[in-house]
Structure 1
Amino acid sequence: MKSKKLLIEIIELLEKFEKTTNVNEGDPSLDDFILFLQERRTVKEDRNDTVRIAQNISYLHRYSKLYIKKILKGSLLQTVDEYTYLVTLFNEESLSKTEINNRNVIEKTSGNEIMRRLLKAKLIGERRDEEDRRRMRVFITEKGRAELKKVFPGLWKSATLLSGILSPQEKELFLQTSDKLCNFHKDIFVHFREEEIDRLILKLPSTNRKNQ
């Protein structure tokens, strides 16, 4: 019977409620129990929202890669990462290899492989840092600029498609929220990337950690 199953669930919730109730506060009331149920529902909804945000961010990244790959067909740029590295250098005189890796949120080994391919294709060049001769700096070549200009129109279409059906007001709100998230994670990537996840969680405000 459905009613019997519901009754068992209520009894189990009552047992959990009693375990969370301070015996020194006297007998709990019905209002206390209702408040307990509401708090449980809020925690569950918060966790579901957190998971959905993580999923949506992951999905958007995949959609973006799908669209950009379509634009790069026939280009000297073989991957999305090669494109983002070249774009990063487009308005810069030069960057150190560490700087360009950090801006693209890519680990040193993977970043060096991307730059190796771009150097081989002569889309970027490299030279010694004048202040620190041990360090190499990379810069975009004229060939690299020309290649980017070829794909810019298609990439604008890709970006337009990715933002989809958002209204101007929704885009502004999304930008504010995504900028806030990116700034938070950029600090972790640059300064604390080697720390364990349990230590990184502590960087969140306490209100964001209470339902983990």
Structure 2
Amino acid sequence: MKSKKLLIEIIELLDQFEKTTQSNEVELSLNDFILFLQQRRTIKEERNDTVRIAQNISFLHRYSKFYIKKALKGSLLQTVDEYTYLVTLFNEESLSKTEINNRNVIEKTSGNEIMRRLLNAKLIGERRDKEDKRRMRVFITDKGRAELTKIFPGLWKSATMLSGVLAPPEKESFLQVSDKLCDFHKNIFAHCKEEEIDSLLSKLPSVNRESL
């Protein structure tokens, strides 16, 4: 029976736990046993968790694109990236091309191609920066605003689909963790993108580098 096998394993762990105490007079508690179990986690298990987190984040990005593409069906916007660039400009007077690329975490070459398509569709416009004539700034056009307004209901449905399985407390917890991750990586992308991976790893808290 599976339950019998589990019970034997728990008894063996309890035996190991007792042997870790300094004296037979020490009163054992459930909290101490739980802490003992947590400390048994191996580096391999921690690495597996790290890999799973990376995989889940990657998969969630793909699932999000899957749902957004459905919302964009019939729209002038052809890709998810075109939507994110346009919505970034929705509440801005204008942004430099570097600013909008950084906000969307997209490299210069790919970002310029996205903006070129939006310009050709007349969903955004561009003008010279008043302070630096060498730099171009982009802004959303009335046509772009109208297009976003048209697809917002469908995009709300896609966003609901992505996280709707989570209960309110789970959403709050997920937001706290994901905000922390995004804030850290946003700074890396904006200021350290030319550094090698070993250099970037040095920016992690030392406790998070122990398994490397």
Q: TM-score range by the shorter chain?
A: 0.7 to 0.9
Q: Which amino acid aligns with 2:163?
A: S
Tell me how far apart the structure 2 counterparts of residues 185 and 208 of structure 1 sit (CA, whole Å): 15
Partner of 1:169: 169
Give 1:61-140 correspondences, 5 Å limit. Answer: 61-140=61-140
CA offsets per residue over residues 80-137 of structure 1, 9 Å max, x none?
0000000000000000000000000000000000000000000000000001111000
Deviation, 1:40, is 6.9
User: 1:41/1:168 Cα in 2 relative to 1: closer, same or farther (>3 Å)?
Assistant: closer
CA offsets per residue over residues 133-183 of structure 1, 9 Å max, x none?
110000000000000011100000000000031111111111110000001
Q: Secondary structure at the match of 1:186?
A: helix
Q: Secondary structure at the match of 2:54?
A: helix
Q: Which amino acid aligns with 2:66?
A: L
Q: Secondary structure at the match of 1:126?
A: strand
Q: Secondary structure at the match of 1:127?
A: strand
Between the aligned residues of both structures, percent identity stands at 82
Q: What is the TM-score of this pair, normalised by structure 1?
A: 0.81
Q: Secondary structure at the match of 2:132?
A: coil
Partner of 1:152: 152
* 1:207 lines up with 2:207 in the alignment: yes
**5+ long unaligned stretches in structure 2:** 1-18, 21-37
Partner of 1:26: none
Deviation, 1:45, is 1.8
Tell me how far apart the structure 1 counterparts of residues 76 and 182 of structure 2 sit (CA, whole Å): 29
Q: Secondary structure at the match of 2:76?
A: coil
Tell me how far apart the structure 1 counterparts of residues 206 and 92 of structure 2 sit (CA, whole Å): 39
The alignment's C-alpha RMSD in Å is 1.7
Tell me how far apart the structure 2 counterparts of residues 138 and 47 of structure 1 sit (CA, whole Å): 43
CA offsets per residue over residues 180-203 of structure 1, 9 Å max, x none?
000100111011011110110000
- Mean alpha-carbon deviation: is it higher for 40-49 or for 147-156? 40-49
Tell me how far apart the structure 1 counterparts of residues 182 and 112 of structure 2 sit (CA, whole Å): 23
CA offsets per residue over residues 36-95 of structure 1, 9 Å max, x none?
xx8674312211111110010000000000000111111100000000000000000000
Q: Secondary structure at the match of 2:42?
A: helix
Q: Secondary structure at the match of 1:85?
A: helix
Q: Which amino acid aligns with 2:78?
A: Q
Give 1:15-30 correspondences, 5 Å limit. Answer: none
Tell me how far apart the structure 2 counterparts of residues 164 and 208 of structure 1 sit (CA, whole Å): 31
Paired residues, what number? 179
Q: Kindly report structure 1 stretches of 4+ aligned residues shifted beyond 3 Å.
A: 38-41
Tell me how far apart the structure 1 counterparts of residues 144 and 73 of structure 2 sit (CA, whole Å): 16
Q: What is the TM-score of this pair, normalised by structure 2?
A: 0.81
